[in-house]
Structure formats: structure tokens, C-alpha cells
């Protein structure tokens, strides 16, 4: 006999890949708006990054190391303002912008190191297969597709966890 205080039986948690997929899908659905705003800001910063990188690397014949560092710093500064004032605007709170920018710059530095590691790997592969990895296209893919892609995943979690932290709600006074 069932009483009203009993809870319905819970479906057992799935383990392995199906369970991981369900949790990941649920997380993406819960944070879809935040992910879309992050992607929008990131898209603008990506255009700035690629544009400056190729202007300096291909147009001005700079070293791809210097071109990537400068283009990334300019793009990350633009992205900071977009993320602070749009993606996580509700998380700004009273945190000082200079403190947030310092953390943001730190985590972007790690993201830049990820992109530079991809360039380094590409330059090593260019020693073995120069016809494939020694091209301007390969350098662009290493820096601006693989490097930026891996760095973006890292940055999303770093920003939301440490830079634009969720401010705890104040308890209502009784």
C-alpha cells in the first residue's frame, strides 16, 4: 500500500558513456544561453585575432610567434569587455574591473600558451613533413583552429569559475 509521503522510485543512474553523455547534454541545456553569449563574444574576438594574425604574419611578414601573441592580446582585451558586459553581466557584482582583467589576462595567457603549443607542435611536424605542415595554411590551422579551439574550452570554464564568479544571493532578512 502506498502513502503520500513515499517518494516515487528513482531511475538508477547510468554509468559509462551513456551516463556521461546524458550529464553533458543536461549541462549544455542548462547553460545554453550563457554558452551562446560566450560564443558570440568569442566569435567577434576570433575575427579580430585571425584578422590581426594574418595581417601581421602574411601581410607584414612578421614571425608567426609575434603575430600570434599580439593578435591574441588585442582579441582578449576586446573579449574581456564583451564577456564582462554581456556574457556574465549578472556576475559583475562589485568586483573591480582591474582584478577581473588581471585574472582574465592570466587565464588568457594559459589559453595563448595552448595555441603556442599547437604552433610548436606544427613546427616540429613541419620538420618531418614540410609539404603538409610547413605551409601558411597549416600554421593558420594550428594557431587559429586547433589552438584557439582547445584554448576556448579551457577559457570558458576558467572564466565562469574564477573570473566572473557567481555572486551568492543575499539571504532575505526575516
Q: pLDDT per residue over 88-128, tens digit each?
A: 766 655 556 777 788 888 998 898 899 899 999 999 999 99
For the whole model, what pTM was predicted? Answer: 0.65
Show Cβ contacts of residue 149 under 8 Å, excluding neighbours closer than 6 positions.
none
At residue 15, does pLDDT exceed 60?
A: yes
pLDDT band at 6 (very low <50, low <70, confident <90, very high): low
Would 15 be classed as within a structural domain?
no
Would 4 be classed as within a structural domain?
no
Would 10 be classed as within a structural domain?
no
Range of the domain at 99: 24-163
Would 65 be classed as within a structural domain?
yes
Give 125-133 contacts, CB < 8 A, sequence gap 24+: none
- Total structural domains in the chain? 1
Would 130 be classed as within a structural domain?
yes
Reported as a single tens digit per residue, the pLDDT across 74-85 is 998 898 888 888
Amino acid at each position: 500500500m502506498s502513502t503520500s509521503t513515499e517518494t516515487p522510485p528513482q531511475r538508477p543512474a547510468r554509468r559509462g558513456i551513456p551516463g556521461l553523455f546524458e550529464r553533458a547534454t543536461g549541462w549544455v541545456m542548462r547553460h545554453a544561453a550563457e554558452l551562446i553569449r560566450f560564443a558570440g563574444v568569442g566569435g567577434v574576438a576570433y575575427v579580430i585575432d585571425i584578422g590581426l594574425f594574418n595581417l601581421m604574419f602574411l601581410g607584414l611578414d612578421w614571425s608567426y610567434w609575434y603575430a600570434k601573441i599580439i593578435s591574441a592580446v588585442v582579441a582578449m582585451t576586446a573579449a574581456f569587455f564583451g564577456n564582462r558586459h554581456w556574457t556574465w553581466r549578472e556576475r559583475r557584482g562589485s568586483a573591480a574591473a582591474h582584478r577581473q582583467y588581471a585574472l582574465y589576462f592570466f587565464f588568457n595567457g594559459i589559453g595563448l600558451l595552448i595555441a603556442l603549443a599547437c604552433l610548436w607542435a606544427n613546427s616540429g611536424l613541419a620538420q618531418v613533413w614540410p609539404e603538409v605542415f610547413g605551409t601558411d595554411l597549416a600554421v593558420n590551422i594550428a594557431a587559429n583552429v586547433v589552438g584557439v579551439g582547445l584554448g576556448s574550452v579551457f577559457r570558458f570554464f576558467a572564466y565562469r569559475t574564477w573570473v566572473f564568479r557567481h555572486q551568492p544571493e543575499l539571504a532575505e532578512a526575516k
